[in-house]
Structure 1
Amino acid sequence: MKRSILLVSFILINLCVFAQTPTKVLYLGNSYTYVNDLTDIVERLSQSQEKEIQSTEFLSGGARFQTHWNNSSVINTIKQGGFDFMILQGQSQEVAFPQGQFLSEVYPYAQKLDSLFKAYNPNGKVIFFMTWGYRYGDATNCPFYPPFCTYSSMSQELYNNYRQMSLDFQSSVAPIGAAWSYSINLDSNYVLHSPDNSHPSYDGSYLAACVLYSSIFKENVNSSFNYQLDTQTAQRYQQIANEIVMDSLSHWNLAVLSTNEMLTNNISADVYYNEKESSIKIDVKNIDEDLTVSIFDINAKLIGSKSIKPTNNIISTSIDISNQNKRLYIIKLESSSFSKTFKIVK
Structure 2
Amino acid sequence: MPHPWLRAGLLHLGVLGALLSAPGHAQSQSPAAAPTTILFVGNSFFHGRYEPAFSYNAATITVEKVGQQKIGPWGGIPAIFKTLTEQAGLRYDVHFECINGESLKMHYDSARAIIGQPRWNTVVLQEHSLWPLPARRSGRPEVFRDYATRLEQVVHKANPQARLYFYQTWARADQTYAPDKAYSGLPIDSMTLDLHRGYYLAARQNGHFAGVAPAGDAWLRAMRAGVAVRNPFAPEAGQLNLWGEDNYHPSQWGAYLNACVLLAEITGYDPRRLGAQEAAAAALGITPAQAVSLQRIAAEQVLAARPGAFTPGAAAKSAPKSSPRQVKLKAAAPGK
Please state which band the TM-score falls in when normalised by the shorter chain: 0.5 to 0.7
What's the CA shift string for 1:108-159, capped at 9, x where partnerless?
A: 111111122122121111100000111253578956x558955321111111
Q: 1:49 to 1:85 in 2, by over 3 A?
A: same
Q: 1:76 to 1:194 in 2, by over 3 A?
A: same
What is the deviation of 1:53?
Answer: 1.3
Q: Which has the higher strand share?
A: 1
Alignment correspondent of 1:23? 36
Tell me, yes or no, if structure 1 residue 248 matches structure 2 residue 305. Answer: yes
Of the structure 1 ranges 121-130 and 149-158, higher mean CA displacement relative to structure 2 is found in 149-158
Alignment correspondent of 2:121? 84
What is the deviation of 1:248?
Answer: 2.2
Alignment correspondent of 1:75? 112
CA radius of gyration, larger in: 1
1:1-346 equivalences in 2 (<5 Å):
17=31, 19-35=32-48, 36=53, 37-71=76-110, 74-98=111-135, 102-138=140-176, 142=180, 145-146=182-183, 150-170=187-207, 171=209, 172-187=211-226, 188=229, 189-221=239-271, 222-223=273-274, 224-225=278-279, 226=281, 227-228=283-284, 229-249=286-306
- Separation of aligned partners in 1, 2:220 and 2:329: 27
- Separation of aligned partners in 2, 1:191 and 1:28: 25
**8 Å CA contact 2:178, 2:184 repeated in 1:** no
Q: 1:83 to 1:274 in 2, by over 3 A?
A: closer
Q: Where do 5+ consecutive residues of structure 2 fail to align? A: 1-29, 54-75, 230-238, 319-326
What is the deviation of 1:247?
Answer: 3.9
SS of the equivalent of 2:249 reads coil
- Separation of aligned partners in 2, 1:251 and 1:169: 23
Q: 1:141 to 1:112 in 2, by over 3 A?
A: farther
What is the deviation of 1:274?
Answer: 8.2
RMSD of Structure 2 on Structure 1 (CA): 3.1
Q: How many residues align?
A: 244
TM-score by length of 2: 0.65
**8 Å CA contact 1:79, 1:117 repeated in 2:** yes
SS of the equivalent of 2:298 reads helix
TM-score by length of 1: 0.63
SS of the equivalent of 2:191 reads helix
Q: Where do 5+ consecutive residues of structure 1 fail to align? A: 1-15, 260-271, 277-325, 327-346
Matched letter for residue 22 of structure 1: P
Of the structure 1 ranges 148-157 and 176-185, higher mean CA displacement relative to structure 2 is found in 148-157
What's the CA shift string for 1:163-210, capped at 9, x where partnerless?
A: 111111121100000000000111122210001000000000000000
Q: Among the aligned pairs, what percent are the same residue?
A: 23
- Separation of aligned partners in 2, 1:141 and 1:69: 34
What is the deviation of 1:102?
Answer: 2.7
Q: 1:274 to 1:232 in 2, by over 3 A?
A: closer
Matched letter for residue 116 of structure 1: V
- Separation of aligned partners in 1, 2:159 and 2:256: 28
- Separation of aligned partners in 2, 1:135 and 1:117: 33
- Separation of aligned partners in 2, 1:240 and 1:139: 24
**8 Å CA contact 1:137, 1:148 repeated in 2:** no
- Separation of aligned partners in 2, 1:38 and 1:63: 18
- Separation of aligned partners in 1, 2:199 and 2:329: 21
What is the deviation of 1:103?
Answer: 3.9
Of structures 1 and 2, the one scoring higher in RCO (CA 8 A, sep 6+) is 2
